[in-house]
Amino acid sequence: MAGLAESGSNPDVELLYDINGLAKDAPHWFDRVMEYVGEYGLLLALVLLVLWCWWSVRRRGGPDAAPSVAALVWAPLAAGIAVLVNVPIRGFVERPRPFKSHEGLDVLVDGKNDFSFVSDHATLTMAMGVALFVANRRFGLVGIALALLEGFCRVYMGVHYPTDVVGGFALGTAVALLLSPLAMMLLTPLAKAVERSPRAGWLIAARGRARVGRDAVIPGARREAAGTAEERDLAA
């Protein structure tokens, strides 16, 4: 992989120079914005997006609340597992950062001395985006769009090759989708148990919404109890 990166005719390298070249023509303040967005901002945005989706699911309540929250819990877990899977991949491939093999790149962030393939940021964001899509398509599409933007930022910043980003997208997607059935099998019963808890149930469904579901059953029971009482009174 490192040998492929050294060829000047390699489309991967050419695309790297094309995208990173935009940083040279951009104003200094814009590069600083891209540096923050690519390093921290989009990761934070995805976390907030998952929390927003959880808040909407929680407010809505209903019988699907527990499975939906379980799917949302899987989003950050999928990201963490994907990054752990990436550790041996990086050690096996041992691809240097692009600025160590190619001159003339505008590197926007310092301290990137580890291996390049695959991109942790691309892996994290795509795993969260795809897992979020499994839970909620509307929020998931926004999450995937943020992940794609993250990949562009990593190349723009000069710290990854485009194939590093594509590899991260593939790894994050694979982990989020392939392990999703097992994750849901384990997380859904846990979410249902939390929903039944008098103290932690609000994490799954808002108290008001939860009472609506119970009130739909309780009045019938009260009517049956009232009818039984009337029958007893008539019998007396």
Assigned token pair, 27? 């104003």
Residue for token digits 């846990």? 190
pLDDT classification of 209: cutoffs 50, 70, 90: low
Q: Considering only residues 215 and 18, tell me which one the structure prediction assigns the higher pLDDT.
A: 18
Q: Considering the chain, what is the average pLDDT of its residues?
A: 83
- pLDDT(105) > 90: no
| CA 191 vs CA 72, 116, 161, 185, 209: distances in Å | 11, 37, 40, 11, 16
**CA nearest neighbour of 130 among 153, 63, 48, 122:** 122
Write out pLDDT tens, residues 57-72: 888 878 888 899 999 9
